[in-house]
Structure 1
Amino acid sequence: LSFCFFLLLLIMVLCVVAVDGTEVEGYSKTEGAWIISLNKRTYSANTAALCAIKCNTESSFTCRSFIYIEKDQECWTVAANSKTENVLRRSSTVFYEKNEYLLECVNGIGKDYRGTKSKTKTGTLCQRWTSSYPHRPNITPQTHPLADLESNFCRNPDGDSGGPWCYTTDSNTRWEHCNVPSCSQECMVCNGVNYRGKISTTENGYTCQRWDSQKPHNHGYNPSTLPEKYLEENYCRNPDGDPRPWCFTTSPAKRWDFCAIPRCTTEPPTIIPEIECITSEGAAYRGTIAVTETGKTCQSWSTQTPQKHNRTPENYPCKGLDNNYCRNPDNERMPWCYTTDPDTRWEYCNVTRCGDTPGPDDPVIPPDEEDCYEGNGSSYRGVTSETVSGKKCQRWSSNTPHRHVKTPEVYPNADLRRNLCRNPDGDRAPWCYTTDPTVRWEYCKLEKCLVRPSGTSRPGPQYPSTATQTPPEENCKVGNGEAYRGPTSITVLGVTCQAWSAQTPHSHSSFTPETHPTKGLEGNSCRNPDNDVNGPWCYTTDSNKKWDYCQIPDCAGLSCGTPAIKPRRCFGRIVGGCVSKAHSWPWQISLRTSTGIHFCGGTLIDPQWVLTAAHCLERSTRPSAYKVLLGIHTERATESSKQERGLEKMVLGPNGADIALLKLDRPVLLSDKVQPACLPEKDHIVPSGTECYVTGWGETQGTGGEGILKETGFPVIENRVCNRPAYLNGRVKDHEMCAGNIEGGTDSCQGDSGGPLVCYAQNSFVLQGVTSWGLGCANAMKPGVYARVSKFVDWIDRTIKTN
């Protein structure tokens, strides 16, 4: 009998565990999440699969989800899920939800429907199944215990051919069917931003290109970097707020096309209108302001004169496009409208912001200090927006992909702007929600500041010396420290670690020298046997704290793209940018005439090679006509760190592209003030909306900072958007990229040509663009254009090796 029971248990485990051993079939997984529910039970389990079995066989209540804590070997079965209860963030927990309870559509007649619809087809609220008023039911949770008749949700306990139904709260109507869509029905709500169907053919009959492919069309919608957009397979999607879902096509002659997806007949999601003021981006604003911030009258959304457009009430039926009132139908930074001035296509509106909270895209000029945090980081106001595992942070004002209450309105003093790392709730370090739907939150990629003696200036992050590169097995970590084998054996709070082989004060079996013989668990030193993204940890000798993380410094020293002096990274709508911190962009070079006059920028990518724009070399084909200055901050170049080099060779880019390589007459001396930028991966396309930075000594048009290196940050604009008729009208080629603020205000300009456009990723700055051209400087709807460096990586490598 015991053998049969064991065999049955093994079969159940095999049925719920996926191939990789971490996913559980039939469940959606979210790391770092926790849910509070009155109906829950706790069990011991050493795998998530065993926990799923506990949930599947739960007899005390209907189990809709479970929480698994591997380090504690705890399993919590829960009656609720994220559709009915708030999800909280909690370290080292994994939240699994049964997929059948997340569906808001029906298969067949919907006998297994377990969603949360609670209104009938006529909009009448459903009566609770346990209630006897106004109707005495003959179907109850007692008569149909397996039908999940909880609350007042629509169900089909008796197999009605019309689908889910409920008793109503209208005394004149005993029961009525509910308007629950079919899971096989292909339709979209509103403009299809949340469409998750499987249509993969466009309205003109083209087959869709896979989102993870760059052939035949290059694009910036990468599923791995935009997980919140659900860019699956080659299915039609709407990642940028267009009138309806679309896709790139497999035809080289047709870059992209809209998809013909009908609108659902079910009611659209309800919103709470904001009438007098706005929160976040103002998507819910339904007030009557109809004048732009410069006093221009708004054009009616339903008319096409003087501005022709597709932001119509028909294309955006859920956005309140009434009359000519200011609205935000397409996720701009605040409400706007087309204007009745033929010379001004559109402008933002001056709508009052609720309370004193800053706008999500208000200019961010970080303080003049290193990008590290003190204490628990509650006072951190830097610009890092990346987690320890390299995930992009979710905007604090957004509830996609993770619903939460940590908003700028709830925490007005926490500076919750954009998607910047912050610590609004007093955690141990700055953190953020991530854009990965499967990972709710993570701590950020930030170092703790060194403790400074009283009376001294603030020091930088705790970087180890770069004189010798310490190998990973010494007392520093590489990445998340999975290979760390150093001697540290105390936690971040100073508590001594428990030996991995010991079972007191904490009993455990998941991580021992026997279960993980290759993970260095011989003593009590901090280790990372489970590949925790936050780094090494240990069980503690504190009986009240089972485990905690350890403070292990990074082994990374100075290398490409990691300046010793952290840049300010001023970002947002700051007219003309801001003056850089001296030597914070150490790859920036000044390209000069032989007489010393600055006229272009460039980027150091190798001790003897600089990348610049080809058009910067039009004045002469002789290398002796130019020289390069490095290690300077002012255009006067009086710094003692200045290095001057002549040119040995100039190599223009292939096929007339606006890019060129300069070989210096001798290598430069690398230091904390002269350092190369990193090159991107071949053919990498920077995702739309990525924050990038340009620097230069170019024309400032009266915005200040003349003669000093300036910087400005703005988002990348996908070529598909940049080539719209209202913007650059098809002028941008595949080997080029756009970046800038659509409404203008900041941009590269004359004198910045050839300089770098760098984007921050994986804790370093990567050279993604070379400043090339634009229609004017900082003009509205005319972003700057840059040579896309990833398209020239092979040419760069080949040129350097053969010259």
Structure 2
Amino acid sequence: MDLYKTTFLLGTLLSAVSAVVLDEYAKTEGAWILSLVKREYSVGTVLECAIKCNIEPAFTCRSFMYVEKDQECLTIPANGKIESVLRRTSTSLYEKKEYLMECVNGIGMDYRGTKSKTNSGKTCQRWASKYPHKPNMTPSTHPKADLESNFCRNPDGDSKGPWCYTTDPDTRWETCNVQNCSEECMHCSGKNYRGKISTTENGYTCQHWNAQKPHNHGYIPSALLEKYLEENYCRNPDGDPRPWCFTTSPSKRWDFCSIPRCTSDPPRVVEELTCATGDGSAYRGTIGVTASGKACQVWATQTPQQHNRTPDNYPCKGLELNYCRNPDHEKMPWCFTTDPETRWEYCKVPSCGDVPGPDYAAPPPAEEDCYVGDGTDYRGMVTETISGKRCQSWSSMTPHSHNKTPQVFPKADLRRNLCRNPDGDRAPWCYTTDPSVRWEFCSVNRCPTAPKPTPKPDKHDQPEPKPSQAPSDDSRDCKVGNGGTYRGPTSMTMLGVTCQSWSAQSPHQHASFTPESHPDKGMESNNCRNPDNDVNGPWCYTTDRNQKWDYCQIPDCAGLKCGQPVTKPRRCFGRIVGGCVSKPHSWPWQISLRTNTGVHFCGGTLIAPQWVLTAVHCLESSKRPSAYMVVLGTHTEGANEPSKQERKLEKLILGPGETDIALLKLESPAIINDKVLPACLPEKDYVVPPGTECYVTGWGETQGTGGEGLLKETGFPVIENKVCNRPAYLNNRIKDHEMCAGNIEGGADSCQVCIDVVFLLSRRCFCLVSCLFLLNPQPVLASQFPASVVSRPLLLRPDRFHLSLCFTCLLSPPPLQVSPIFPIIPCVFILVFSVCLLPVCFVRRTYQHFVSLLPPVPCSCFLVSRF
């Protein structure tokens, strides 16, 4: 017993020591710094590597890299502020936090940042240099003062803080204006504010970002890691003039925080004068007209458009005169216009380099969403990594700075945040929006190769069939997830090299992954395994002396799960005129609601083998189940495929009150297969994060855009209510129980969120949606909103249940003016029914008859429609 206690206490102590040491470092997975100065060590744990860095005698160690599979530790004097960070598989970069801080404590003797300019803007002289000034303080006279490069330091304890010798022969030295760490202030509009103020300018206490009461919202910390939504601290995740927060007062949804501007210099921007890269936030040229030729309004004026995008609110965004700019994270530079009927428009600013502009869109490929070879030519629509992380836009430098941009790789199709392989890696990949994970391979499968035909054996030579036992789940040659439980027989890497036995030490020595160190990981032979839970899947040490280890090509186990179609959807997203014809059976929960004579008239969603979700207004002609039938498993409206399933109805259940939802119970359960599959339903109180891609599918009139009689699709992003409620959009007309989605940039695709309506629009328009959901006793009806459009298109929907009636614009009538902010165009009503399956939420205690229908399973963001 005493031995057990001693062992337990020793283990606890080691864990505590490890946590303390590693807490001094910021970890980034998949990152690497190429440094000429380095020291290499062979260690058994990451803690040993951290200790090596802490006591490094050769230089000041600012970072170390650790490769667990190789038991390799590299200490270096550089970090991400000094050298470029590269990407590398199965490597973790650890940077000392003290060298990443760009602020000082006290007089700044411990300042280890990278500021290298003085108060007056003079460049600092290197501490080891003797020109133009011969220094009294050098790396040799003050070895512990970190006098490397030309960074501001305070080796002598100057009361005014860090300083440096200057490169100006007439000025020997000057102090540097480095912000104090204890100073609560912000640069520019506070996008990078990381302070701890949690009270608004009007005295309201901030609501925690991970809380949904008293105000529910889409700014979920786990889904928006790059926004640093910590505790209840004021932040600026959406490009507002300054940091803000939701409040704990039910009567005040959100409020700005009173945070002073820093007196130190703001981050420098490399100005782009003749063209724009990325979203154009660095553009400082002199274009002052919109893409349609309208003159831009001067940013400092409030006529004819009133706004808060002023030079005072956005001091770092170059809002001079009436030049096109991008102060608030839009897709490209824009401006308010001098036309009273057009609030704002994008500008046509040339893109730097031989690349398409951010307005560019191309329809996704019609073929299977998979890659051939190394995926260099992959042009699919996947935006998620193998571990489920969201991809960072290739044009963005946040949270990860990089050089894989559309300008540098103009032929790699680096649009949006789509998975690509611009540099010839082994498969498509992307940078992630998780600050702690630089990049990952994407959740894209390799395209199957057709098997070579084998000669048919002679009938008389065929052996008698013998009974065989089905393989167990543990031994089947496929993986579930990242393959942590894989116990299959594969023992060859993806390059065809035989695996080294896990117990062998030749040709490669290793101690971290052996049958003894991981007795429960199935490492008895040389089969591929994943003992360290690598997100990229099973791997092994190889018998190739020049390649220590490599990944294995293990296919995913086939399985039918809700919301995960066997045929991956095209994911036709964004500015694609007319939408796209869907791949057959890529939306297997789409059903056709028909009369008992087989005439298609409405749509719905399969949510369980024997249950379909639809709208009450689809059942207006009769409340008798015998009046209807459901067709499943079809791609064509004609429903002449062999995969078609027909079911009569046993029961109709109408939603409570005036809600426009209904459940249809089929006479017999649908046969679940690769062409008929239920959609997922979310867990209670699930909130859809902004930027989530939603899709609409359906049959109907195509107005000459093609695909008649075939299922079509289009997609659009979810938009946070706070953004929707800005004056430029819906001016505070959206309530907490509603949500927004759509293409906020307007243009020719504004009304295409409801497919199969009018796709040939050239004016800006807006799809108004009737939000009807289960928990709202007084549903919001379409008639409560004017049948009009605003300057930027959005889709309204609630956070719990969404049934919508979309409006679209007429081409012929001229615009009408009803307010100084919202020019409108008369709209015509189009019968379109949409059900968003993400925000579904039923209260089980209140509606017991729904309980068995709604298992709490993960959901997919899909919309279905009928026309």
TM-score between the two structures when normalised by the length of structure 2: 0.84
Q: Which deviates more, 404-413 or 317-326?
A: 317-326
Paired AA for residue 482 in structure 1: G
C-alpha distance 654-309 of structure 1, shift in aligned 2 (>3 A): farther
Q: Deviations over 1:451-508 (max 9, x none)?
A: 23699xxxxxxxxxxx999624422111111111111111111111111111111111
| Equivalent residue, structure 1, for 2:675 | 673
1:773 partnered with 2:805: yes
Aligned-partner residue type, residue 344 of structure 1? T
What secondary structure is seen at the aligned counterpart in 1 of 2:19? coil
Q: For the aligned residues, what is the CA RMSD?
A: 3.0
Tell me, yes or no, if structure 1 residue 519 matches structure 2 residue 521. yes
Which of the residues 216, 220, 223 maps onto 2:221?
A: 223
- SS of residue paired to 1:585: coil
1:171 deviates by 2.4
1:685 to 671, 684, 687: 687
Deviation track 1:89-127 (CA, whole Å, cap 9, x = no partner) reads: 111111000000000000111100000111111111111
Cα gap change, 1:647 to 1:314, in 2 (>3 Å): farther
Matched, 1:747 2:753: yes
Alpha-carbon separation, structure 2, partners of 1:666 and 1:120? 78
The letter for the 2-side match of 1:556 is A
Q: Does the aligned pair in 1 maintain the 2:714–2:755 contact within 8 Å?
A: no
Equivalent position of 1:762 in the other structure: none
SS in 1 for 2:50: helix
**Distance change >3 Å, CA 492–CA 360, structure 1 → 2:** farther
Alignment partner, residue 615 of structure 2: 613
| Preserved CA contact (<8 Å) 1:736 1:786 | no
Please give the per-residue CA displacement for 1:217-238, whole angstroms capped at 9, x wherever unaligned. Answer: 2111111111111111111111
The AA in structure 1 aligned to 2:554 is I
> Which residue pairs with 2:272 in the alignment?
274
- How many residues end up aligned between the 2 structures? 772
Please give the per-residue CA displacement for 1:56-91, whole angstroms capped at 9, x wherever unaligned: 111111100001111111110001000010111111
Q: In the aligned structure 2, how far is the partner of 1:246 from the partner of 1:619?
A: 50
Name the CA shift for 1:435/1:369 in 2 (closer, same or farther; >3 Å). Answer: same
Check the 8 A contact 2:696/2:755 in 1, yes or no: no
Distance 1:754 1:202 in 2: 34
Residues 159/567 of structure 1: CA separation in 2 closer, same or farther (3 Å cut): same
Report the alpha carbon displacement of residue 655 of structure 1 after superposing the two structures with TM: 5.6
2: CA distance between counterparts of 1:297 and 1:667? 61
Does the aligned pair in 1 maintain the 2:614–2:835 contact within 8 Å?
no
The 3-state SS of whatever aligns with 1:17 is helix
Paired residue for 1:34, among 18, 32, 35? 32
Superposed CA deviations along residues 511-561 of structure 1, whole A, max 9, x for unmatched, are 111111111111111111111111111111111111111111111323222
Q: CA deviation at 1:133?
A: 2.1
- Cα 1:563–1:797 change in 2 (3 A) is farther
Counterpart contact for 1:736–1:785, Cα < 8 Å: no
Partner of 1:763: none
Task: Give the SS at the match of 1:776.
Answer: strand
2:795 is matched with none
Preserved contact between residue 500 and residue 541 of structure 2 (Cα < 8 Å)? yes
Task: Kindly report which structure 2 residues correspond to 1:83-232, keeping only aligned pairs within 5 A, or say none.
Answer: 83-232=81-230
User: Are the counterparts in 1 of residues 589 and 679 from structure 2 also a CA contact under 8 Å?
Assistant: yes
Superposed, which structure 2 residues align to 1:529-678 within 5 Å? Answer: 529-594=531-596, 596-654=598-656, 656-678=658-680
Which letter does structure 1 place at the counterpart of 2:654? L
1:147 to 1:654, Cα distance in 2 relative to 1, 3 A: farther
Supply the distance in 1 between the matched residues of 2:709 and 2:802 (Cα, whole angstroms).
21
Compared CA separation, residues 545 and 793, structure 1 to 2 (3 A): farther
Please list, as runs of the form range in 1=range in 2, the aligned pairs for 1:393-472 lying within 5 A after superposition: 393-452=391-450, 471-472=473-474
Residues 566 and 586, structure 2, Cα contact 8 Å, conserved in 1: yes
Q: Which of 270-279 and 187-196 deviates more?
A: 270-279
Shifted more, 165-174 versus 498-507: the winner is: 165-174
Larger deviation, residues 557-566 vs 625-634: 625-634
Where 1:33 maps in the other structure, the secondary structure is strand
Change (3 A) 1:600 1:470: farther
TM-score by length of 1: 0.90
CA positional deviation for 1:30? 0.6
Q: Partner of 1:263 in structure 2?
A: 261
**Ranges in structure 2 where 5+ consecutive residues have no aligned partner:** 1-9, 454-468, 758-766, 773-798, 812-821, 828-832, 855-867
Distance 1:709 1:741 in 2: 22
- Give the alignment partner of residue 696 of structure 1, picking from 692, 698, 721: 698
CA–CA distance in structure 1, aligned partners of residues 470 and 683 of structure 2: 27
Amino acid at match of 2:610: Q
Find the counterpart in structure 2 of residue 18 from structure 1: 19
Match of 2:779 in 1: none
CA contact (8 A) 2:304 2:340 kept: yes
- Between 1:58-67 and 1:341-350, the stretch displaced more is 341-350
Say if 1:556 and 1:794 are closer, same or farther in 2 by CA, change over 3 A. farther
The equivalent of 1:792 in structure 2 is: 841
Correspondence for 2:252: 254
Given that 1:679 and 1:768 are in contact with CA atoms closer than 8 Å, whether structure 2 keeps it comes out as no
Distance 1:347 1:584, change over 3 A: same
Query: Where does 1:276-315 land on structure 2 (aligned, <5 Å)?
Result: 276-315=274-313
Conserved? CA contact 1:611–1:754, under 8 Å? no
2:46 paired residue among 39, 45, 48: 48
CA offset at residue 656 of structure 1? 4.0
Assess, with a 3 A threshold, how the Cα gap between structure 1 residues 615 and 164 changes in structure 2: closer, same or farther: farther
Q: What is the identity, as a one-letter code, of the residue corresponding to 1:17?
A: S
Q: Distance in 1 between matches of 2:342 and 2:281?
A: 23
